[in-house]
Amino acid sequence: MARPAPGSGAAPWRGWAAVCAVSLGIFCLITSELLPVGLLTPVGAALGVSDGTAGLMVTAPGLVAGFCAPLVTVGAGRLDRRLVLCVLIALMVAANLAAALAPNFAVVLAARLLVGVSVGGFWAIAGGLAVRLVPERHVGRATALVFGGVPTASVLGVPAGTLLGELGGWRTAFAAVGGLGLVTLTALLVLLPPLPATRHITFPELPALLRENRAVRAGVIVTFLVVTGQFAAYTFVRPILQEVSGVDADHISTLLLGYGVAGVAGNFLAGPRDAYRTLLVVSSCLTVVLTLIATLPGPAVGTVLLLAWGLAYGGVSVSVQGWMIKAAPEAPEAASSLMVAMFNFAIAAGALCGGLAVDHLSEPAAPLGGAALMLAAATTVWVTAIRRTPDRSDGRGRIGHRA
**205-400 CATH:** 1.20.1250.20
Whose CA is closest to 175, among 93, 106, 248, 283? 93
How high is the pLDDT of residue 328?
Answer: 84
* Three-class HEC string of the chain: CCCCHHHCCCCHHHHHHHHHHHHHHHHHHHHHHHHHHHCHHHHHHHHCCCHHHHCHHHHHHHHHHHHHHHHHHHHCCCCCHHHHHHHHHHHHHHHHHHHHCCCCHHHHHHHHHHHHHHHHHHHHHHCCCHHHHCCHHHHHHHHHHHHCHHHHHHHHHHHHHHHHHHHHCHHHHHHHHHHHHHHHHHHHHHHCCCCCCCCCCCCCHHHHHHHHEHHHHHHHHHHHHHHHHHHHHHCCHHHHHHHCCCCCHHHHHHHHHHHHHHHHHHHHHHCCCCHHHHHHHHHHHHHHHHHHHHHCCCHHHHHHHHHHHHHHHCCHHHHHHHHHHHHCCCCHHHHHHHHHHHHHHHHHHHHHHHHHHHHHCCCCHHHHHHHHHHHHHHHHHHHHHHCCCCCCCCCCHHHHCEC
Whose CA is closest to 226, among 275, 261, 260, 185? 275
Return the domain boundaries, the chain.
Answer: 5-191, 205-400
How high is the pLDDT of residue 178?
Answer: 95
357 close to 240: Cβ distance less than 8 angstroms: no
How high is the pLDDT of residue 11?
Answer: 57
Bridge partners of 213, per DSSP, are: 402
CB atoms < 10 A from the CB of 332, how many? 25
314 close to 267: Cβ distance less than 8 angstroms: yes
* CATH number, domain 5-191, options 3.40.50.720, 1.20.1250.20, 3.40.605.10, 3.30.1330.200: 1.20.1250.20
How high is the pLDDT of residue 403?
Answer: 46
How high is the pLDDT of residue 401?
Answer: 43
**What are the C-alpha distances in Å from 208 to residues 152, 202, 277?**
35, 10, 26
How high is the pLDDT of residue 387?
Answer: 67
365 close to 353: Cβ distance less than 8 angstroms: no
How high is the pLDDT of residue 10?
Answer: 52
* Three-class HEC string of 350-364: HHHHHHHHHHHCCCC
Alpha-carbon distance of 287 to 210, in angstroms, equals: 27
How high is the pLDDT of residue 294?
Answer: 92
For the chain, 403 residues long, give each residue's pLDDT as a single digit of tens: 444 444 444 557 788 899 999 999 999 998 898 888 778 788 888 999 887 788 788 888 888 988 888 898 888 878 898 999 999 999 999 999 999 999 999 999 999 999 999 999 998 888 778 778 888 788 878 888 887 888 788 777 777 887 888 889 999 999 999 999 999 999 999 999 988 877 777 778 888 888 888 889 999 999 999 999 998 888 788 788 888 888 887 787 788 888 888 888 888 888 777 888 999 999 999 999 999 999 998 899 999 999 999 999 988 988 888 888 888 888 777 888 888 888 888 888 887 888 888 888 888 898 999 999 999 999 999 988 776 654 443 444 444 444 4
pTM: 0.78
Do 205-400 and 5-191 have the same topology in CATH?
Answer: yes
CB atoms < 10 A from the CB of 29, how many? 31
Would you say how long the chain is, in residues?
A: 403
